């Protein structure tokens, strides 16, 4: 599996103390979440069948591997996703751009696992993105969904079309990263 780098304690603490760059952290708990001027993006797919597949994909998700497999280089404050932990994301061709986020909440239920992270200062966007894995016992299907509510950060407004295109590309990569 791709490596996940650990942040220094100083950087992790600075990011943990940083304010979110949007109102209402945790807003994506509501499937109808919205903020004025922010655009929603939701995509999902069936990723397999059975409890074993649910557990396998949940492990990838909760150990940052979905980000790695999607082509992002994450530097994290902890090896497992947990509420309050932080991540700095880099995309190799755009490595000077750092996208810091903090985990707003974690979903850890029998048939649902995932998390949402919210943007921090320095991220090209403002908003929250949720990664949610769901197991349906009745059909034995495992679904993976990515849902975000976001807009460009002020200095990135001129790049909005490119940012939105990249966001769509990465959501597709996230959804395929569990294969």
- Find tokens 């090209």 and name the residue: 124
Alpha-carbon distance 177 to 1, whole Å? 12
Distance of CA 154 to the CA centre of its chain: 21
Alpha-carbon distance 154 to 11, whole Å? 24
What global pTM score does this model have? 0.95
Q: Domain map of the chain by residue range?
A: 5-176
Contact 82, 67 (CB under 8 A): no
Please measure the distance between the N-terminal and C-terminal CA atoms of the chain and give it in whole angstroms.
Answer: 13
CATH superfamily of 5-176: START domain (3.30.530.20)
Q: pLDDT tens string for the chain (179 positions)?
A: 568 999 999 999 999 999 999 999 999 999 999 999 999 999 999 999 999 999 999 999 999 999 999 999 999 999 999 999 999 999 887 677 899 999 999 999 999 999 999 999 999 999 999 999 999 999 999 999 999 999 999 888 888 888 899 999 999 999 999 99
């Amino acid at each position: 599996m791709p490596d996940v780098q650990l942040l220094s304690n100083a950087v992790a603490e600075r990011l943990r103390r940083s304010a979110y760059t949007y109102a209402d952290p945790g807003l994506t708990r509501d499937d109808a979440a919205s903020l004025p001027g922010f655009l929603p993006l939701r995509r999902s797919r069936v990723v397999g069948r059975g409890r074993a597949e649910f557990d396998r994909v949940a492990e990838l998700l909760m150990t940052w591997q979905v980000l790695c497999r999607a082509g992002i280089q994450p530097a994290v404050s902890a090896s497992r996703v947990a509420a309050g932990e932080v991540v700095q994301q880099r995309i190799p061709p755009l490595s000077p751009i750092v996208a810091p986020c903090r985990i707003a909440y974690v979903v850890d239920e029998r048939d649902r696992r995932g998390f949402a992270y919210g943007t921090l200062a320095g991220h090209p966007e403002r908003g929250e993105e949720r990664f949610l894995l769901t197991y349906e016992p009745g059909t034995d299907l495992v679904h993976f969904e990515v849902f975000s509510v976001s807009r460009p950060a002020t200095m990135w407004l001129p790049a909005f079309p490119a940012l939105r295109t990249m966001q769509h590309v990465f959501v597709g990569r996230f959804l395929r990263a569990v294969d």
